[in-house]
């Protein structure tokens, strides 16, 4: 009798302990990046850790191959499947090659999402774009208009005439141009994403349009070249260069005043949102067209017919924060 | 005798008995390392000793090991083939192109193997026909073959492989034993017999130890070498089928940098990079070690660069230890 009793107590304690252990177990979310050691992704990890801290019961596994190969990412994904992680959020090196490995992960109950660089539809539950074409189109003209309360002439320096991204953004910009009174887009020139050609095209703009107040360059190559051309022409203060650029390349031009502000995605927010979405999916949220998934402090993301969603407006960098982000990417 | 330690490649020639013992110790050492890594991994991660996880892990090395067997023979004969990864890319591109034309699975396999053989023939003809150094020729064809697939594909990808084609890289023969792993075991046996039990294998060793002597002993050196380059081409074609099937798509950057991983596997397996010695069991062990290290470190989420450092150290120590051990023995003997 006594033995039976002590056995029962032991069993009860064991059950309680096991239940406790299961309860305390953290949800494992893997943030798989294109390759380790890239500032942009290190920043995304910072955001993911922030999300984990906020959620409390999440452990973020930050991992990726040494070089940006699909084969390397598959090895990483296989080891994550073996560890039985709860979710994988991947920035893919290859749209198609990861699909079989990620399908296997989903078959074993792992929630798979892609962010930044997407995976083909059948290999993920949803894809998180940092922004969307309408948001980018609106942001680039807003950046120019914000510094031109009186209005004035604005020119666009794009990449090549056939660049899909830039053409879409410029088309979206023109749609909302009416919202910005007095802003007159005079022309679009093409620097072909070459530093020297972009520089010469900017020189041409400065000469052809004496009343030019701003240059919008929605390309990271063009914006730097334009800022340099404006500086060399002694037009700082008269012509403001803005658009999409990288903080590390633009910090100097923001400091000199050639560019008052520019925009690009914020990798910290991207890592944060990807983690939040993965957590929402683990919690039972369903990724289907029209669904809204929670992203913590970033609000919600609405999925389109391809189960893709846009995180937010491009993030604005100016003299107040560019130095800090220049260290990251 | 005293200058023997200056050029290790001559040792098996002159000191047959001791050479055999050294080789034996080399593989024993690898076996010990493999067991140690296996035990270490089992202790370090609760997920390691799971049949399905181990099965998934074999994909880390099976395709490379297929090529490594043929590469081992090439290196033993004193040559090298650095174009294998590019042959994978070209064979995969050819298969992807064929898929767009509606070709079915058996024909795709034939195309993959065929392109491998053609590439191997090109290498073989340039090396044995024109007598050019294999390292120069295969560095050239390395750029050539991958260049061709870049011309065809650019930044595009071929997808849409038939369902049945997926079996080669994702299918299982029985329980946890994948097609790729089964193929790996079969090829290990075939190449083991070829190298260690046939006249052809003896000829490969003879050429690697002393090509001129082999020639005057009646070994048809050029023919043997030509066959070896055909074999690496064929194995690269086979690996291309498996890898393409596993990825379900083709990009020109497929298998980028694999030639060095294959050579690493071969050298880690105890094959003398200068030719003349080495065994297939050694290469099998090296493949298992590299696969387990990659997977074990992956389970612990150790960054990839640490794995590269570990493999590098392993490579150096596996090469250095037998030499040091041999020196110590000799010193004791005197």
pLDDT band, very low/low/confident/very high, at B181 (cuts 50, 70, 90): very high
pLDDT, residue A76, reads 93
Residues of A with CB under 8 A from a CB of B: 36-37, 61-67, 69-72, 74-76, 78-84, 94-97, 99-100, 120
Q: Which residue of A has its CA nearest to B294?
A: A75
| pLDDT beyond 60 at B8 | no
Provide the shortest C-alpha distance from residue A158 to chain B (in Å): 21
- Return the sign of the alpha-carbon dihedral for residues A294, A300, A306, A312: negative
Q: Is A25 exposed, middle or buried (0-12, 13-18, 19+ CB in 10 A)?
A: exposed
pLDDT, residue A18, reads 46
pLDDT, residue B17, reads 60
Is B56 within 8 Å of A81 when comparing Cβ atoms? Answer: yes
Q: pLDDT per residue over B132-149, tens digit each?
A: 999 999 999 999 999 999
DSSP of B193-255: HHHHHSHHHHHHHHHHH-HHHHHHTT--HHHHHHHHHHHHHHHHHHHHHHHHHHHTSB-TTTT
Is A100 within 8 Å of B257 when comparing Cβ atoms? Answer: no
Q: Is A39 exposed, middle or buried (0-12, 13-18, 19+ CB in 10 A)?
A: middle
Is B304 within 8 Å of A81 when comparing Cβ atoms? Answer: no
The pair of structure tokens assigned to B196 is 């260690």
| pLDDT beyond 60 at A17 | no
Q: Is A170 exposed, middle or buried (0-12, 13-18, 19+ CB in 10 A)?
A: buried
| pLDDT beyond 70 at B77 | yes
The vertex-B182 CA angle with A84 and B280, nearest 5°, equals: 110
The pair of structure tokens assigned to B309 is 């450092």
* pTM score: 0.80
Instruction: Please enumerate in sequence order all residues whose Cβ is within 8 A of that of B241, keeping only pairs 6 or more positions apart, or say none.
Output: B91, B95, B108, B109, B112, B113, B168, B169
pLDDT, residue B308, reads 81
Of all residues in chain A, the percent with pLDDT exceeding 90 is: 67
- Name the residue with tokens 């017999």: B193
**Nearest CB neighbour to B294, from listed A75, A81, A99:** A75
Is B304 in CB contact (< 8 Å) with chain A? yes
Is B1 in CB contact (< 8 Å) with chain A? no
Provide the shortest C-alpha distance from residue A80 to chain B (in Å): 7
The vertex-A186 CA angle with A182 and A190, nearest 5°, equals: 140
The pair of structure tokens assigned to A49 is 């850790």
- The answer to whether A162 and A198 have CB atoms below 8 angstroms apart is no
The pair of structure tokens assigned to A30 is 């893997």
B277-284 mean pLDDT: 94
- Name the residue with tokens 């294999």: B134
Which secondary structure element, helix H or strand E, spans residue B122, and what is its range? Answer: helix B105-124
pLDDT, residue B326, reads 78
pLDDT band, very low/low/confident/very high, at A80 (cuts 50, 70, 90): very high
**Nearest CB neighbour to B159, from listed A69, A76, A96:** A96
Chain B residues whose CB is inside 8 A of the A78 CB are 56-57, 59-60, 295, 298
Report d(CA A188, CA A175) in Å as an integer.
Answer: 15
pLDDT, residue A16, reads 46
A253-267 mean pLDDT: 92
Is B255 within 8 Å of A71 when comparing Cβ atoms? Answer: yes
Chain B stretch 38-67, residues whose beta carbon is closer than 8 A to a beta carbon of chain A: 45, 47-48, 50, 53, 56-57, 59-60
Q: Which residue of B has its CA nearest to A85?
A: B299
Lowest mean pLDDT among A107-111, A243-247, A310-314, B309-313: B309-313
Say which residue, A157 or B334, is predicted with more confidence. A157
Chain B residues whose CB is inside 8 A of the A97 CB are 157, 247-249, 251, 254
Chain B residues whose CB is inside 8 A of the A62 CB are 301
| pLDDT beyond 90 at B302 | no
- The answer to whether A95 and A118 have CB atoms below 8 angstroms apart is yes
| pLDDT beyond 50 at A1 | no
Q: Which residue of A has its CA nearest to B170?
A: A100
| pLDDT beyond 70 at A39 | yes
Chain A residues whose CB is inside 8 A of the B57 CB are 78-79, 82
pLDDT, residue B196, reads 95
Q: Which residue of B has its CA nearest to A82?
A: B53
Chain A residues whose CB is inside 8 A of the B53 CB are 81-82
Is B299 within 8 Å of A83 when comparing Cβ atoms? Answer: yes
Say which residue, A6 or A25, is predicted with more confidence. A25
Is B247 within 8 Å of A96 when comparing Cβ atoms? Answer: yes
Is A67 within 8 Å of B257 when comparing Cβ atoms? Answer: yes
The rounded radius of gyration (Å) of the Cα atoms in chain B is 20
B316 CA to centre of own chain: 18
Buried (b) or exposed (e) across B139-156, using 16+ Cβ within 10 A? Answer: ebbbeebbebbbebbeee
- The answer to whether A214 and A156 have CB atoms below 8 angstroms apart is no
Phi, psi dihedral angles at A116 (to 5 degrees): 65, -80
Is A94 within 8 Å of B247 when comparing Cβ atoms? Answer: yes
pLDDT band, very low/low/confident/very high, at B156 (cuts 50, 70, 90): confident
Is A82 within 8 Å of B304 when comparing Cβ atoms? Answer: no
Q: Which residue of B has its CA nearest to A81?
A: B53
Q: pLDDT per residue over B37-48, tens digit each?
A: 999 999 999 999
The pair of structure tokens assigned to B303 is 């960054």
Chain B residues whose CB is inside 8 A of the A67 CB are 256-257
Interface-testing mutation among A82, A88, A103, A118, with chain B (most B C-beta atoms within 10 A): A82
Q: Distances in Å between the alpha carbon of A22 and those of A16, A17, B48?
A: 10, 9, 21
A114-119 mean pLDDT: 90
Q: Which residue of B has its CA nearest to A100?
A: B247
Is B165 in CB contact (< 8 Å) with chain A? no
Q: pLDDT per residue over A50-73, tens digit each?
A: 999 999 999 999 999 888 889 999
| pLDDT beyond 80 at A103 | yes
| pLDDT beyond 50 at B211 | yes
Lowest mean pLDDT among A277-281, B21-25, B201-205: B21-25
B85-92 mean pLDDT: 97
Q: Which residue of A has its CA nearest to B155?
A: A94
Q: Which residue of A has its CA nearest to B50?
A: A82
């Amino acid at each position: 009798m006594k033995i039976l009793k002590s056995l029962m107590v032991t069993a009860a304690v064991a059950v309680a302990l096991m239940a406790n252990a299961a309860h305390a177990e953290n949800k494992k979310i893997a943030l798989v990046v294109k390759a380790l050691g890239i500032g942009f992704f290190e920043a995304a990890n910072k955001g993911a850790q922030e999300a984990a801290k906020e959620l409390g019961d999440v452990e973020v596994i930050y991992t990726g191959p040494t070089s940006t190969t699909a084969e390397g990412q598959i090895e990483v994904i296989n080891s994550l499947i073996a560890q039985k992680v709860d979710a994988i959020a991947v920035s893919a090196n290859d749209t198609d090659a990861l699909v079989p490995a990620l399908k296997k992960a989903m078959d074993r109950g792992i929630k798979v999402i892609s962010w930044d660089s997407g995976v083909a539809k059948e290999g993920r539950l949803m894809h998180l774009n940092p922004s969307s074409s309408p948001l980018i189109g609106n942001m680039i003209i807003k950046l120019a208009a914000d510094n031109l309360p009186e209005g004035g002439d604005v020119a666009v320096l794009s990449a090549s005439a056939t660049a899909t991204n830039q053409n879409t953004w410029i088309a979206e910009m023109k749609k909302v141009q009416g919202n910005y009174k007095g802003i007159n887009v005079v022309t679009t020139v093409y620097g072909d994403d070459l530093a020297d050609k972009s520089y010469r095209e900017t020189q041409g703009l400065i000469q052809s349009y004496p009343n030019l107040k701003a240059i919008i360059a929605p390309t990271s190559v063009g914006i730097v070249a334009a800022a340099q051309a404006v500086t060399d022409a002694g037009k700082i203060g008269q012509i403001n260069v803005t658009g999409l650029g990288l903080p590390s390349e633009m910090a100097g031009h923001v400091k000199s005043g050639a560019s008052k502000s520019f925009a690009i995605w914020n990798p910290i927010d991207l890592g944060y949102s990807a983690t939040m979405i993965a957590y929402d999916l683990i919690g039972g949220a369903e990724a289907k067209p029209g669904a809204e998934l929670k992203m913590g402090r970033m609000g919600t993301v609405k999925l389109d017919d391809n189960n893709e969603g846009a995180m937010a407006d491009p993030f604005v960098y100016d003299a107040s924060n560019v130095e800090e982000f220049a260290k990251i990417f | 005798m005293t200058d023997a330690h200056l050029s290790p490649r001559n040792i098996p020639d002159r000191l047959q008995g001791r050479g055999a013992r050294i080789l034996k110790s080399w593989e024993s050492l690898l076996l010990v390392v493999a067991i140690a890594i296996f035990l270490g991994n089992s202790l370090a991660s609760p997920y390691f000793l799971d049949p399905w996880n181990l099965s998934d892990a074999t994909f880390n090395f099976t395709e490379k090991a297929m090529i490594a067997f043929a590469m081992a023979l090439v290196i033993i004969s004193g040559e090298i083939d650095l174009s294998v990864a590019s042959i994978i890319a070209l064979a995969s591109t050819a298969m992807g192109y064929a898929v767009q034309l509606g070709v079915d699975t058996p024909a795709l396999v034939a195309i993959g193997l065929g392109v491998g053989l053609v590439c191997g023939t090109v290498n073989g003809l340039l090396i044995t026909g024109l007598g050019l150094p294999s390292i120069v020729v295969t560095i050239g064809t390395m750029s050539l073959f991958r260049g061709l697939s870049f011309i065809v594909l650019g930044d595009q990808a071929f997808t849409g492989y038939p369902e049945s084609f997926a079996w080669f890289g994702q299918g299982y023969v029985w329980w946890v034993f994948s097609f790729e792993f089964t193929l790996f075991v079969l090829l290990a046996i075939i190449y083991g017999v070829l190298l260690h039990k046939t006249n052809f294998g003896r000829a490969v060793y003879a050429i690697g130890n002393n090509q001129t002597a082999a020639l005057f002993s009646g070994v048809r050196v050029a023919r043997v070498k030509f066959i070896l380059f055909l074999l690496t081409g064929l194995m690269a074609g086979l690996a291309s089928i498996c890898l393409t099937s596993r990825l379900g798509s083709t990009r020109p950057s497929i298998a980028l940098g694999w030639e060095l991983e294959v050579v690493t596997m071969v050298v880690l397996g105890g094959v003398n990079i200068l030719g003349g010695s080495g065994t297939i069991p050694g290469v099998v062990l090296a493949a298992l070690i590299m696969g387990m290290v990659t997977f074990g470190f992956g389970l612990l989420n150790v960054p990839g660069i640490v794995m590269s450092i570990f493999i590098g150290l392993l490579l150096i120590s596996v090469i250095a230890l037998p030499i040091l051990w041999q020196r110590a023995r000799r010193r004791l003997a005197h």
